[in-house]
């Protein structure tokens, strides 16, 4: 999946700084519009509404439109409501190949959650903040689509966690030779190459190094 950063310059949509605490899912309600269309519409100079969103996803790509550390009004819960003030907004396009769009949306949502150390319980619907039937694309059969989407996001999140763990179990290429030397000389047991060391661990490694001379 392609994730592009293409921030808008329409300053009326970029409200103030934000410390994100959750991710909110929307859908566009437009059966013909692509992610690029939605991003460009947000950026039109004559678009003077303060309503905005951070990310938009279609069947081909995801576009980051507003920096994720800036407030965008999207949740319908007031200027300083928790949805508008603390949540990253992701719009799902209703055009194109529906299966591919939802697959890309699940991957994008998982990416946002994983990068912040969040779990799926940090993901909300527009509906949860204001009662609006949104994301419409997931509102079928008493929100059955939402339940299925959350499961797909969890699957993608689990993949990212597994990949991250596998990466953390190996030293970076630039440290590989030194790391192997440390193992060979009994200075380290070779575990947790990318985790921080306590002071007692550092002293122990120095003590072992002294004995290795």
- Provide the pLDDT for residue 51: 97
Q: 127 pLDDT band (50/70/90 cuts)?
A: very high
CATH class of 2-167: alpha beta
Average confidence (pLDDT) over 108-115: 98
| Greater pLDDT, 193 or 70 | 70
Give pLDDT, residue 75. 98
Q: What percent of the chain has pLDDT over 90?
A: 76
- What is the radius of gyration, based on Cα positions, of the chain? 22
Average pLDDT of the residues in 69-85: 97
User: Lowest mean pLDDT: which of 23-27, 37-41, 67-71, 177-181?
Assistant: 177-181
Q: What is the pLDDT of residue 172?
A: 79
| Domain ranges within the chain, ordered by starting residue | 2-167, 171-212
CA distance 62 to 6: 10
pLDDT at 131 over 70: yes
Angle (CA) 47 31 140, round 5°? 115
Proportion of the chain above pLDDT 70, given as a percent: 98
- Does residue 213 surpass a pLDDT of 60? no
CA distances from 31 to 51, 59, 86, 92 (A): 20, 13, 29, 11
């Amino acid at each position: 999946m392609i994730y592009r950063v293409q921030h808008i310059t329409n300053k009326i949509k970029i409200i103030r700084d934000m410390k994100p605490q959750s991710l909110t899912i929307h859908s566009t309600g437009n059966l013909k519009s692509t992610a690029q269309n939605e991003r460009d519409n947000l950026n039109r100079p004559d678009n003077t509404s303060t309503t905005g969103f951070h990310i938009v996803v279609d069947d081909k790509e995801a576009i980051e439109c507003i920096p994720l550390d800036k407030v965008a009004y999207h949740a319908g819960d007031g200027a300083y409501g928790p949805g508008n003030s603390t949540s990253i907004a992701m719009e799902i396009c209703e055009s194109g190949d529906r299966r591919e769009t939802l697959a890309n949306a699940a991957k994008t949502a998982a990416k946002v959650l994983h990068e912040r150390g969040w779990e799926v319980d940090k993901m909300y619907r527009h509906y949860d903040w204001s009662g609006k039937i949104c994301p419409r694309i997931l509102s079928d059969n008493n929100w059955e689509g939402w339940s299925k989407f959350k499961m797909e996001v969890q699957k993608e999140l689990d993949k990212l966690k597994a990949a991250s763990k596998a990466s953390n179990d190996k030293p970076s290429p630039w440290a590989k030779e030194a790391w192997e030397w440390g193992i060979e000389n009994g200075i380290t047991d070779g575990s947790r190459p990318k985790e921080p060391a306590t002071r007692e661990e550092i002293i122990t490694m120095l003590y072992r190094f002294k004995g290795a001379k």
